[in-house]
A and B are shown apart, each in its own frame.
Chain A
């Protein structure tokens, strides 16, 4: 039973290019989350998606960033016109369900490390 799969593991882009990061959730998980980790920082929430729906994008920058989780295929985090400040590790997590009570156990992938030159 594979865990959360992310690719690419490492991505180098020049300023102004586009970065696309992909995430396949754990089998049976229909809830996907993206978090960003800046150097020497903890992870910070970006966006929560279910199939074909963005549930909460309150942590995602309003410009240049977008996310999707199509009916078929992986979730995609897209960063247009990258800048040096976008250099970070981007982690995807998935969970079985998120209820309105109790805890929600997130399983994280190994991350995609973006370097912007």
Chain B
């Protein structure tokens, strides 16, 4: 089956620093999604990428859909304490099974004030 490798597994940074995390896949996806999960909550969609090479921003977040369609990265600039949480990448294929998201294992981000 499809697998996503997400790295790093965890990050400890100082407030104000920039953060970068990425996902690679053994197979192609048509859509890449980045979610954030706060403790005890469900994942919340941050950014969706629909085209290979696409670069999309949402406030301090920037994500890119790799040209090969097998990878994506997420950058967070000027981190703040409320950025703490687990960040998941997820891949989605087109067609009849486009509800089956494949999730990475997550990147746990800790921001020291």
Contacts and interface: CB of A to CB of B under 8 A. Distances in A.
A, B in one complex: yes
B94 interface: yes
Interface stretch (B12-20, B38-46, B75-83): B38-46
Contacts of A33: 99
Contacts of B90: 42-43
Contact of B99 (A31, A41, A111): A31
Contacts of A103: 30-31, 48, 50, 92, 94, 98
A108 B99 contact: no
A69 interface: no
Contact of A106 (B6, B95, B101): B101
Contacts of B92: 103-104
A106 B106 CA distance: 18
Interface string A80-116: 0000000000010001001111111111111101000
A91 B99 contact: no
Contact of A98 (B98, B103, B106): B98
B101 A43 contact: yes
Contacts of A100: 94-96, 98
Which bucket holds chain B's interface residue count? 20 to 34
Interface residues of A, number: 32
Contacts of B106: 40-42
Contacts of B45: 105, 107
A44 B88 CA distance: 12
B4 interface: yes
Contacts of B30: 103
A45 B101 contact: yes
A42 B88 contact: yes
B71 to A, nearest CB: 16
Interface of B: 4, 6, 30-31, 35, 40-45, 48, 50, 88, 90, 92, 94-101, 103-106
Q: Which 9 A-B pairs have the closest CB atoms?
A: A42-B103, A108-B42, A104-B98, A103-B31, A110-B42, A45-B100, A43-B103, A111-B42, A42-B105
